[in-house]
Amino acid sequence: MIQLIPAIDVIEGRCVRLSKGDYGQRKVYDASPLDMAKAYEQAGVKRLHLVDLDGAKAGGPQNLKTLEQIASVTALEIEFGGGIKGTDALQAVFEYGATYAIAGSVAAREPELFEQWLVAYGPSRMILGADLRDGKVSVNGWKEDMDLTIDDLIGHFPAVTQIICTDISRDGMLQGPAFELYKDLQGRYPAIDFTVSGGISSMKDIEHLNEEGLRKVIIGKAIYENRITLKDIERWLLSE
């Protein structure tokens, strides 16, 4: 059964959602990140996707207090991404309570450093973030596209066991995920757990991904826009 991982994207300590990663197309929601995290936990969720959008833009984590709050009040496993560009930042993310750290830009631009992290912290804690626009890897908060494919990226890191793959063109658009992309990746790299990210619009999308053998999926805007409710999530988790 595919694992549901709700997302909380944070700017200045508040829950937001972007469209296609565009900071100019942001929507701010009333619920606090902590309240959302507690609601997810109450619904039976085990793992949370927490993104520091300020950090992604600034090149260093900016919302560690939000991470600390959620980690100290809930028992959720937290995967944290956004601005992890150096070892000090990575250590801080773990010290403030993250279970997993997501690194995308570093993996693409400084593969030797990411390889060091895989050795030091283990592939069970390090997640490779592969954000794709038109088939190419995008870095630095999706502001810069590189001449690098996801296969190129995976080829650098044979030890990687977890990859979050985001289709930027679909992120926040509620138009459904790139089913064929994820089915293809999971089929070609069975030893890796791919997390689907971008475009989830309904429980039907999740059912389809589950049928295709995908293992993890991030749900963001669909929850805030009531396309998927906490009750839907609770029912899915109870059926596992």
Residue 235 is predicted with a pLDDT of: 97
Q: Is residue 32 packed enough to be buried (19+ CB in 10 Å), middle (13-18) or exposed (0-12)?
A: middle
pLDDT at 159: 97
131 belongs to the catalytic site: yes
Q: Which of 9, 52, 167, 171 is flagged as catalytic?
A: 9
Is the pLDDT reported for residue 36 higher than 90?
yes
Query: In which domain, by residue range, is 108 found?
Result: 3-238
CATH number, residue 42 = 3.20.20.70
How many independent structural domains does the chain possess?
1
Predicted confidence (pLDDT) per residue in 167-186, tens digit: 888 877 788 999 999 999 99
- For a pLDDT cut of 70, what percent of the chain falls above it? 96
- Catalytic choice (54, 131, 167, 205): 131
Active site residue 205: no
**pLDDT tens digits, 65-109:** 999 999 999 999 999 999 999 999 999 999 999 999 999 999 999
Q: Is the pLDDT of residue 30 over 90?
A: no
Determine the pLDDT at residue 141: 67
